[in-house]
Structure formats: C-alpha cells, structure tokens
Structure 1
Amino acid sequence: MADTVEQAQSTADLAQPWAELGLKADEYDRIRQILQRRPTACELAMYSVMWSEHCSYKSSKVHLRKFSELPAETPIGKLLAGIGENAGVIDVGQGYAVTFKIESHNHPSYVEPYQGAATGVGGIVRDILAMGARPIGVMDPLRFGPLDAPDTLRVLPGVVAGVGGYGNCLGLPNIGGEVVFDRTYAGNPLVNALCVGVLRHEDLHLAYASGRGNKVILYGAATGGDGIGGVSVLASETFDVADDGTRSGPAKRPSVQVGDPFMEKLLIECTLEIFAAGLVSGIQDLGGAGLSCATSELASAGDGGMHVDLDLVPLRDSTLSPEEILMSESQERMMAVVEPHNVDAFMEICRKWDVLATVIGEVTEGDRLVIDWHGETVVDVPPRTVAHEGPVYDRPYHRPDWQDRVQADVPDALARPRTGDELAETLLRLVGSPNLCDKSWVTDQYDRYVRGNSVLAQPEDAGMLRIDEDSQLGVALATDCNGRFAYLDPYAGAQLALVEAYRNVAVAGAQPVAISDCLNFGSPEDPSVMWQFTEAIRGLVDGCLALGTPVTGGNVSFYNQTGETAILPTPVVGVLGVIDDVRRRTPIGFSAPGHEIVLLGETRDELAGSVWAEVVHDHLGGTPPRVDFEHERRLAELMINASRAGLLSAAHDLADGGLAQGLVESCLRHGAGAKVYLPEEADPFVTLFSESAGRVLVAVAPDKVHEFTGLCADHQIEYARIGTVQPVAADAELTVDGQFSLPLTTIRTAWEAPIPTALQLR
C-alpha cells in the first residue's frame, strides 16, 4: 500500500530514510517546511533525486552564475537558447541553428562500463533531440587510470564498446574526442559525451508545460527497474577504498541504466516527425531522475500545474513501487505536452514508428504537481521547489597549502637530452607513451563517416560535419583539457583547455562561436577542490570574455575521487565553430612533397606539466604555459582566412608533446616524410618538446608562401620557415637537420604499440 498525502498529514513523526537517499538533515527539514508536513515516500524520492548534486547543481550554482557575464551573442549570430535549457542553440546562418552540449556519465561507467558509457551517449542525444534538432554527430572525451593498471583493462574496453555500440546503432558519426591516462583516474574514469544537432530556426522547442487541459504523454520505452536512482545518486557520492585496497562504489549502489539504441533510433525518427507535424507545445527527455525530473521541470517552467496518474505508466516490471517508478532512469523515454485535438495525430505517428505512447496526465490550473497511484494522491508539491528551488550551497574554499610547493617545484633542474641521439630517443619514448600514442584501437570501433556528412574526423584536430549540401555550410567541434596544467594552476589550466579547443576549430578552418563545458572535479566538500573549481570557472569566464564566445550550457560533475584522492581537476571544454564551405577545410596531414613547413607562434622554455616531464621524469610541478588571448584571436583569424584563400595543404595545432609530436602526427597521417631545420640560436630540446600555447604547424605550396607570410605579418603572427615535406615512400624519414633522422616505420612501430600491447592484442 502506498504512502499517501493523507497519511503523511496524520503521521507527522513517522521515521523516514532521508539520509539513505542522500539528503542532509537540514534538507529534510526544509522539505517538511515547504510541504507543512512530512513528505510521502514518493515525494521524498522525488526531492532526493532532484536535490542531488547531479540534478540540482547545489554546490556549483553560485559560481556558474558568473557565466551570465558573458555575451548573449556569438561572433556570427545570436544565441537562441542558452544555460538552463536542455542544450544551447546557436544561429549559424542560412536559417539554420545548431545545438550542442557535453555531459558526464562517470561513476556509472566505472560500475558498469558498457552500459554506463552507452547510456551516457543515449542521454546526451535525447537532450539534443528535445530542442527540436536532428542529432548529427557525437564526441567522447575519455579518461582512464594508467594504461597498464589491471582495472583499466576492465573499464577501457567496456567504455569504448559502449560508446561505439550505442552511437553506431543510432547511425551517428563519432567525429572526435580524447583518450587520456593518469593515475588519478584509476577507479574513477571520466566518460564525457557530446552531441551536436541541426535544426531550422522555426523548429526550436523548449521544455515547459502550459495550457490547461493539455495532455501529458509519456512515449518511448516502458519503465523498468534498471537505473533506479541511477546517475542522480551515483554522481553525488564519492567512491571509497575497501579494506583490500580496491575501489568500491557507494554501499548501496543503484543499478546502472540499460540502453537500447534501436529503441532510441525509433524514438528519434518518431519525435522528428512529431515536430514536423507541429503536434507538441512542450517536450522533455527523461534522463537523470526520470519521471521525477520530467514532470517537475515541465510543470515548473510552465504557467500552470500538472496532474499525473502513475497507474497509466507502462511498466516492464509490474512489481515496481510508485517511488521506484518516479526514480527509475530507464532509458529511451520522452515526455510531451500535447493539445487535446492533436493527441490522435501524435499517437498515430508513434504507432507508425512502433513507439509506445500513453497519456498519463494533463496540465492543470494552479501551481501544484499532483501524482496519483491506485486512486490515491502520493505527490502534491509545488513543482518549482522540486526542480528549480533546491538547496544552494556556497561551500568554503581556499587555495591549498600544497599549491605553492607544487608551483615552486619547477622542472628546470631535470636532466634534458642534448645530443641528436638523445633527442631521437626522447622522441620515440614520448610517441610510444600512453597519452601520445596511436588511439586508433579506440576510434576504429566508432563509425566516423555514417550519414556521409563527416568531412573531418579523428585523428584530425577538429571534427567537421556538413549541414547543408547545397551551400556546403558546416560546423566543426573540438574538445580539450590538460588536467596536469589545471592541477598546476586551475585558472590557467581552464584557459589553456579553452584556447586549445578554440585553436583546433580555427586550424581546421572554422570560426569558433560558442562553448559547452563539462567540469569534472573531486568532492565539493573539500575546500581545496572547491577552490580549484572556482578558479576554473573564473578562468573560463575571463577567457570567454576575451574571445567573445558565450557558454551555452554544460555539466558539472563532482565527487570524482576515490577515498581522499581526487582526480586531476578536469574542466573539459568543447568549442563549436562554423565554416561557410567545408570544401575549404584544412586537414592535419602532410601530403604534398615540396611544400614548405612553417611554424607559427613563439616557442618558450615551457616544460612544466609537459608529457616529457611526466614520461621521462614522473614530474608534475611548476606553472603551465602562459595564455595570450589576443594572440589566439589573431592566430584564429589567420587560420580561417588562410583556409578561405586556399593557402594551406595542412595545418596542425601544437599542444601535448610540442613540435616533435606535431611533426610525427603530420608525417604519419599519410606517410610523407619531412626535413626540418631548427633555428640556430634555439635550444633544440626546447624547440622540439616545449608545450607553449598559441602555435600551429602548417604546410604551404612554394608559390603561395609569399602570400601566406604576408598574411602572417598582417595578423602580427610570428612565423619561421623550418623545412619541407618529403615524398610519401616506404623509406620516408623524419629528419631534423644536424640532430637525427628517424624512419617513419620506426616511429610508427613505437606509436602504434602501447594500447594493443596493454590489452594483450599482440
């Protein structure tokens, strides 16, 4: 028998499991004050999941408000929807709009790697769909523990299979992302998922319920027992260390959601046809917190209340209690608000696509969300208190004492290679390290070209998709973050993530216009972690103001730590760019013998946090490379203009591994050799391995070099003509004049080996 509102009014002192559901004592007291009684079991379930860290952003709201200082327009058009909606929407011209967002599914992917990653993809795709857009591509920034750690061998293959399996079945190209390894992610991998979609301006839909008498329709998969509490609880707790030293999740782990990509594909096509027919007045996907979220958010954002009958919810498990139905995070479900005269047409389209659809309620007058079960009321709440007026914490934060010690531990005294042989040995060691090695074992499991509109995909600097076949209008996306830099200085580290993603989009030839972020940090109850978080927010706000790029939305993921060990602060930044003609894109690989190689930007002695310091010396100290936003803006303009003018045959951003890694990847892309001459006055080691920001490696035809260098001068970008591209050949080499010459076959062997070897595939 369900716990009803009537019973709650007459049994004020009934003990309730609020602590087991993740609520604090003062939060439970506040719920009682709101309701002027104790909550029913269903109400307690709703508040617990909606007031969780994952759903309510209660520890980050006060800092996220700083993003309101950013422009409401992009460099090329207006922002049609921003923070607070399911995803940001940007005007990209020609009547088109693009929506994109990045979110996390970290803890579920540790508990159950395949389904955790798969449903992470499914959830972000539905966010994009709910805006009225057709999803057209996905990306996946991933982070794992050490490549040779036993648990990485469990988590890595499962996560990659989940991302690929779900996205491939949906027919969505996976055009980019990252794969990073670090000991702090052991037991707490980061699985961030980005989706991008396209729509016409007039097709934009928002999440609100309005119009008394309008019907509330739940459609998609039936509701099951999988994912009860799901990510809303998992993402709001820290993993612990068991007595045997292994990592474990919360003592009462909720089950991870189970995905069905084929159902999601039907749901996508069904929803798009419903949109085209103009049959909905409001829509919301069911992700974290399931029905609790969809009902309360739609009602809260609307102009009335809502009444729902849980008896009408289609179930896969008839034994589910009403609380479990409300907390279930079963996948592939949507909720629509439909005018009564459109219900039959709505249902007909659902039948056409074999999508289950049921009217479960209606919009009402007033400001209450009322939910019945077996003829009795089990929920009667003000929806805004559930969805939008949860607790807000201004948690204490301070700069940790160890930060000064870390920054004082500069890498200047570390032994550096001096001879040509030592430089060659260092290059081979770095290209064969986990974070610089070939990631094709991962990316080959993803379909990068399905739908036929992928014009750039991994391992390019940015993914690029055509969105209009007639005009060749397209968008480019890149995600980036160096957690080591953010550990050394979270303010600068967040800005370095921003400018690297910004630069990658521009290097491909697109104009960067907006960002979405996924801010992954440890426990917000640790003042040191909260300081890292606030500094990262401050860095992103200042950086976006300098670049003129709004933040359209994103995600905060806290409690990413095992016991007392937090992950490296990892503010992943995704940048969206627009290109007016994708045929003018610039790829990364050398392919034209005789083309000159030109290095853009200034190389400084900046090795703190570098891959060299990590791999060769296991060192992390000092301060990260400095950021020059004005230089980054001019460099981006140069790359975009050079692309439009057809001046470049290749361009590659320099970041992890510096110039050496940039040369290796540019050569290996098509098997072309290169001969490089380092500046005589420069230290060869610094030139090759420094990770200074704001640098790009380009290849230019001899007859276009004068025009290109003139363009560099116009944009005040420092350049150096450092070599030439050599022919594609079986015996091709990378030669650094006066230092070393390495066969590409030798480099490729070192570069390709680490992941297959670690996974025992060789």
Structure 2
Amino acid sequence: MLILFEKEASKSQLNQKIADKISKITKNNQVFSIYYAYFLDLKSDLDEKEILIAKKLLLSDNFSNQLSNKKYLLITPRIGVESSWGSKARDIFYASGINKLKAIEQVKLFIFDNDIDDKLIQNPQFYSNFFDKMTESLFFNLKDYNFLPPNIDKPNISEEEIYPYLVKSNETLGLALSSDEIQYLLDQYSDLNRKPTDVELMMFSQVNSEHCRHKIFNSSWVIDGDKKNKTLFQHIKSTEPEKSKHVIKAYSDNSAVISSFKTNKLLINDYNNYEYKNVQTHSVIKVETHNHPTAISPFSGAATGSGGEIRDEAATGRGSRTKAGLCGFHVSNLNIPNFIQTWEDNESISYPKRIASALEIMIEGPLGSSAYNNEFGRPCLTGYFRTYEKKIENNSYYGFHKPIMIAGGIGTIDNSNFEKKFIKDSDLIIVLGGPSMLVGLGGGAASSKHSSNENEELDFASVQRENAEMERRCQEVIDRCSNQDMNIIISIHDVGAGGLSNAVPELVNDSDKGAVIDIDKIPTADTSMTPMELWCNESQERYVLCIPEKSYDLFKEICKRENCPHGLI
C-alpha cells in the first residue's frame, strides 16, 4: 500500500460547514484542518519514475509527519465500494502508463489541535458530523483502513418451515411483502416442496413491488360503495387517445415518443469522419420521481434520480439521445433558522432521524441533480419548488416529510430506432456500464414501503451512488450503435429498480423469451457479493441490451474506444 499526502491543507467551505455543526454540541470552537490523502493498492512496487508521475497526477508528496502526535479522524469511501472518483483516477493512471495499480481512493483527514479531548473524538454525537454514513466510512487510525470489506459469513437458509421463513425473510431483507403475497409464495413453494432462495425472494419483491408493478395504480376502486369503471392508470392513460395525433408511442417503453421533423444530423461515418445526414427524428420525453432515495440522502438521491431519467431516454426504442433536463421538489416547511415565515410553525412535527429535513433536501437535492446533469453534459433548464405542511385536528399533520423529487427531460430519436426488435434464441445479453456494488439493494421494495415502518439500515442500503462520467461513456456507446445505418442493438433497457433481477426479465419478456444467465459473468467491484446481491443490487449507470452474436466483436471495439466496461452474461 502506497500513501501519498496532500502538500497543503484544503481551504474548502466544508471546514466552516462542519465547524458550525459541532459548535452546537461543544463549548469551545474546535480548530481543525482538512488534508486529502491517497491510498494506492498496488500489484507491485512503483519505480521512481512511476512514483513521480503519481505525485504529479495527485499534486501530492510522500506521506509525511503531519499526523505526528496529532489527533485526527480518517474519512474514506464506504468500505467495499469503489467510489466514482477512484474509478476515474484508476483509468487516468492506466492511461499515464501506471499499470501496477489495483485500486486508488481519495480520503479526508480531519486533523485537530492537540487540546481536543479524546472522549469528545470518540463521541458519536461529535464524529457523526464529519461524514455521511451512507457513502463514507470513519476510522480513528490510518492502519485500520482497508479497501476490501471484512469477510462476513453469509447466513445459510435456516431449516425452518416455509411460512416462518417467509415472514422472517420479509423483515430481515426488507421485502415489503403483503400478507397476500406471502400466502401466494407459500402456495407456490409448497407445491415445489422446497424453501425459496434469497435470490428468488429478493427478485420477487423487486419485480412485484409497487415501484415496478404499480399495483395500487392498476387496482379497481370502490369509493363509498360506488365501484369505479377505471383504474388510476386508465385515467392517466386516457389523455393519450384524446390527444394522440402526434404521439408515436406512450406507456409502452421507457419514454414517450412524439413525431417531429427531418433535420441535418452531425454523425460519424464508417471512416470515422464527421458528416451531415438528413434524417427523420422524433422527440423523446420523460418525467419520473425519485422520492425515497432523496428523503434518505438528498444529494445522491436527486443525482441518481436525474441519472435514471437520462438512462430511460437513452433506453427508448433501440437508443436515443437526451438533450435537456428538469428537476422539481415538493417538501414540508423549510423552517430556516432565524427566518421563520408567517405560514410556518416553530413547533413543526419532527422527522425520523433517517429522513433529511426539508431544508437539507432543498440545499443538497438541487445541487445533486444539477451536478449530475452538468457532469453528464446535459443542461438542466427548468424545474419547480413547493412547500406544504398543515396542522389539522388531533395533532395530525399533512405535509411532504417524504418529499417528491421529479426528474425529467427531452431528447431525440431517429425514426429507424423508435421500435425495439424481437430477440432471437441465439442473441447475446450484455450488461453495459459500471460494475456491481452492494448499493441500492432492495430499492424498488424500499421505496414502496410506508416510511414509518422502515428499517434505518435497510433504508441506507437502498440508496444508489452516482457516477455521471460512466453514464456518459455508456451514452457514447449507445450513440455509436444507434447512429449506424444498421443499428446492432436489438433491444435495450436501463437498469433501475430491482437491478438486473428486473431489467433482464423485462428485456427478454418483451419478446416472450426466457434467458440463461451466468451470474459469474456479471461485472463486479466487490468480490464478496453473494448471488442475490449481484442479481438484485441497483448500482447505477448500467444498461442491459441484446445484440446479434455476429456483432459482438464490433460491439467490443466500440466499448474499447469509449473506455466503457461491459459484461456478456
């Protein structure tokens, strides 16, 4: 392990932000400095030339004695998860000729003055202000940090009867299964005369969640004894036939497609030269919500909300390109300190500790959405923001403690690409994009549960991490394929709620097919992940797509050119 150290203390707004937080729980202002350090996990030692290159790339020097007799906190990316920074930095090192690198991570060191009390540093109320436990890990000693998670013995399926096992799994895995669904599974597995595996249970909970299947929106309604003729979804969809003159497709793909016009499009031809082609294009539109993750971690939740909407556009038909985005937020009263408004109440109902406040959401959420859009290379041009919280009788409240976070966008798709094609038996299924990580596990089911019943650790596990630069690489691969005269993409879906356990069945079900999947071929950044975790995690910036077997070499060349990972599963 090679450790390089930043030469000067960081002068960021983070210092003041944390200082303001800890001043509320300590009598004296605590003086600290923030340094960045870099941990390099190497296959073999670097030579002098390679060390010099590494120092220049990181603007750093050898690990020095800044920590000598100092008290500090070490904040690292969450153990077992390669950060998006680490992934990008590793690629840059490889491009600079340093191939001995296995992994690299940037960490923060908060170095305190010597007069700080040891008991204060060890106090969770104090040190929790220095890191985000959803995306980071904390250590009190440099020697304790390791890239890999500790080996944990995965529990074997117990030899209980099926029903108690289902009830227990529903609670421990956060499956959000209703009593009717548990009874359905009990009937099915009793017929099979075996207990379900954790893979099957987690997959069922994701595919069958409200988030993915919209059971409530597709239900029949009886209101005050009057049976309604339409479901909520039928009411929503009823607007399309009435105004369908220019609608090419709606409610049948990842985005809607509206007819447009011919335009001169700048494309790369077969000789890698740019040229204009006059093509018939159509408009792609999409709006969706990302409420639960934004409630738990506003920046990451809003960022991955925008990222997921971008992928929905790209995965429309056989590949499209997004052009511009929007974001919106609905929250409870902000209650800004020393700036309480006339409609707000100082005694506003409190929040569960796992849910961010309305003010935190409106500070971090828009930044997350705009950051993702900017890093991907798409302008976020419009949006909305509203607050509502009302006290009613019996100390009950209406409000948006669980917020609404809306992500939307508009793009273009070629006339030749707006319909997916049917998959043949010999076609290949590919995962395009970043590796699997133990993040976003159970997100589809978690977002479908009532917030009051949620388990805090399952909440944090269900929120995804963002990497807009990886999504840009995927988009370039999709663009290169979809711009060809003979698009090699047969069908494509983005990987969202439920991970591959939802995306792959969705892909093959469109063609009334099944598929044989080799779990070991799924790209992963965490070798400790179980089959259930590989199959069901919601790592972002991924697509599943089908191509003809004969086109695989061409697809590999395109991925290599764009430095975009993929796995043939």
Do the two structures share a fold, i.e. TM-score over 0.5?
A: yes
**Aligned mate of 1:30, from 184, 200, 221:** 184
Give distance in 2, aligned partners of 1:11 and 1:348: 51
Aligned to 2:493, the other structure's residue is in SS state strand
2:12 counterpart residue number: none
**Aligned mate of 2:260, from 88, 92, 95:** 92
Give distance in 2, aligned partners of 1:301 and 1:348: 28
Give distance in 2, aligned partners of 1:3 and 1:296: 27
Deviations 1:659-711 (A, max 9, x none): xxxxxxxxxxxxxxxxxxxxxxxxxxxxxxxxxxxxxxxxxxxxxxxxxxxxx
- The one-letter amino acid paired with 1:263 is M
**Aligned mate of 2:418, from 179, 196, 204:** 204
1:418 counterpart residue number: none
1:329 counterpart residue number: 538
Does the C-alpha gap of structure 1 residues 168 and 71 become closer, same or farther in structure 2, counting only changes over 3 Å?
Answer: closer
**Aligned mate of 1:163, from 353, 369, 373:** 369
Deviations 1:68-89 (A, max 9, x none): 5444474652x22211311111
**Aligned mate of 1:56, from 206, 213, 236:** 213
2:109 counterpart residue number: none
Root-mean-square deviation over aligned CA pairs? 2.7
1:217 counterpart residue number: 430
Deviations 1:380-424 (A, max 9, x none): xxxxxxxxxxxxxxxxxxxxxxxxxxxxxxxxxxxxxxxxxxxxx
- The one-letter amino acid paired with 2:408 is L
**Aligned mate of 2:496, from 272, 287, 294:** 287
Aligned to 2:302, the other structure's residue is in SS state helix
**Aligned mate of 2:165, from 2, 8, 15:** 15
Aligned to 1:60, the other structure's residue is in SS state coil
Aligned 8 A contact 2:158 2:165 in 1: no
Deviations 1:628-653 (A, max 9, x none): xxxxxxxxxxxxxxxxxxxxxxxxxx
Give distance in 2, aligned partners of 1:209 and 1:311: 26
Q: CA deviation at 1:67?
A: 4.1
1:686 counterpart residue number: none
Give distance in 2, aligned partners of 1:65 and 1:179: 28
Q: CA deviation at 1:145?
A: 2.1
Q: Is 1:139 equivalent to 2:139 in the alignment?
A: no
Give distance in 1, aligned partners of 2:533 and 2:253: 26
Give distance in 2, aligned partners of 1:100 and 1:189: 23
Deviations 1:171-215 (A, max 9, x none): 111121101122244522211111211112112143x76200111
Aligned to 1:110, the other structure's residue is in SS state helix
Aligned to 1:124, the other structure's residue is in SS state helix
Does the C-alpha gap of structure 1 residues 185 and 210 become closer, same or farther in structure 2, counting only changes over 3 Å?
Answer: same
2:23 counterpart residue number: none
Q: CA deviation at 1:14?
A: 7.6
Aligned 8 A contact 1:143 1:185 in 2: no
Q: CA deviation at 1:292?
A: 0.9
Q: Is 1:113 equivalent to 2:298 in the alignment?
A: yes
Q: Which moved more, 1:15-24 or 1:153-162?
A: 15-24
- The one-letter amino acid paired with 1:279 is I
Aligned 8 A contact 1:237 1:250 in 2: no
Q: CA deviation at 1:66?
A: 3.5
Aligned to 1:324, the other structure's residue is in SS state helix
Total equivalences in the alignment: 349
Does the C-alpha gap of structure 1 residues 159 and 75 become closer, same or farther in structure 2, counting only changes over 3 Å?
Answer: same
Give distance in 2, aligned partners of 1:209 and 1:115: 36
Deviations 1:212-247 (A, max 9, x none): 0111011100000111112x1332122239xxxxxx
Q: CA deviation at 1:115?
A: 0.3
The 5-angstrom pairing of residues 549-698 of structure 1 reads none
Aligned 8 A contact 1:18 1:24 in 2: no
Give distance in 2, aligned partners of 1:352 and 1:322: 31
Aligned to 2:286, the other structure's residue is in SS state strand
1:181 counterpart residue number: 387
Unpaired runs of at least 5, structure 1: 242-247, 361-762
Query: What TM-score results when the alignment is normalised by the length of structure 2?
Result: 0.57
Does the C-alpha gap of structure 1 residues 33 and 282 become closer, same or farther in structure 2, counting only changes over 3 Å?
Answer: farther
Aligned 8 A contact 1:205 1:283 in 2: no
Give distance in 2, aligned partners of 1:152 and 1:11: 45
Does the C-alpha gap of structure 1 residues 71 and 340 become closer, same or farther in structure 2, counting only changes over 3 Å?
Answer: same
Q: Is 1:274 equivalent to 2:443 in the alignment?
A: no
Aligned to 1:15, the other structure's residue is in SS state helix
Deviations 1:8-54 (A, max 9, x none): 99986782344221112321232354564243221111001111111
2:289 counterpart residue number: 104
Aligned 8 A contact 1:88 1:101 in 2: yes
2:448 counterpart residue number: 236
Query: What TM-score results when the alignment is normalised by the length of structure 1?
Result: 0.43
Deviations 1:423-450 (A, max 9, x none): xxxxxxxxxxxxxxxxxxxxxxxxxxxx
Does the C-alpha gap of structure 1 residues 204 and 96 become closer, same or farther in structure 2, counting only changes over 3 Å?
Answer: same
Aligned 8 A contact 1:209 1:298 in 2: no
Aligned to 2:515, the other structure's residue is in SS state strand
Does the C-alpha gap of structure 1 residues 3 and 283 become closer, same or farther in structure 2, counting only changes over 3 Å?
Answer: farther
Q: CA deviation at 1:128?
A: 0.3
Does the C-alpha gap of structure 1 residues 144 and 300 become closer, same or farther in structure 2, counting only changes over 3 Å?
Answer: same
Does the C-alpha gap of structure 1 residues 69 and 110 become closer, same or farther in structure 2, counting only changes over 3 Å?
Answer: closer
Aligned 8 A contact 1:130 1:205 in 2: no
Q: Is 1:342 equivalent to 2:556 in the alignment?
A: no
- The one-letter amino acid paired with 2:447 is A
Aligned to 1:287, the other structure's residue is in SS state coil
1:83 counterpart residue number: 251
Q: CA deviation at 1:319?
A: 0.8
Aligned 8 A contact 1:280 1:338 in 2: yes
Deviations 1:363-387 (A, max 9, x none): xxxxxxxxxxxxxxxxxxxxxxxxx
Aligned 8 A contact 1:139 1:195 in 2: yes
Q: Which moved more, 1:175-184 or 1:347-356?
A: 175-184
1:461 counterpart residue number: none
Does the C-alpha gap of structure 1 residues 228 and 10 become closer, same or farther in structure 2, counting only changes over 3 Å?
Answer: closer
Aligned to 2:170, the other structure's residue is in SS state coil
The 5-angstrom pairing of residues 368-379 of structure 1 reads none
Q: Which moved more, 1:300-309 or 1:160-169?
A: 300-309
Does the C-alpha gap of structure 1 residues 213 and 88 become closer, same or farther in structure 2, counting only changes over 3 Å?
Answer: same
Unpaired runs of at least 5, structure 2: 1-152, 220-230, 263-279, 338-356, 390-397
Does the C-alpha gap of structure 1 residues 14 and 339 become closer, same or farther in structure 2, counting only changes over 3 Å?
Answer: farther
Does the C-alpha gap of structure 1 residues 149 and 255 become closer, same or farther in structure 2, counting only changes over 3 Å?
Answer: farther
1:122 counterpart residue number: 307
Give distance in 1, aligned partners of 2:433 and 2:422: 19
**Aligned mate of 1:65, from 234, 251, 275:** 234
Give distance in 1, aligned partners of 2:248 and 2:185: 35
Give distance in 2, aligned partners of 1:305 and 1:9: 31
- The one-letter amino acid paired with 1:40 is T
Give distance in 1, aligned partners of 2:371 and 2:416: 33
Aligned 8 A contact 2:162 2:186 in 1: no
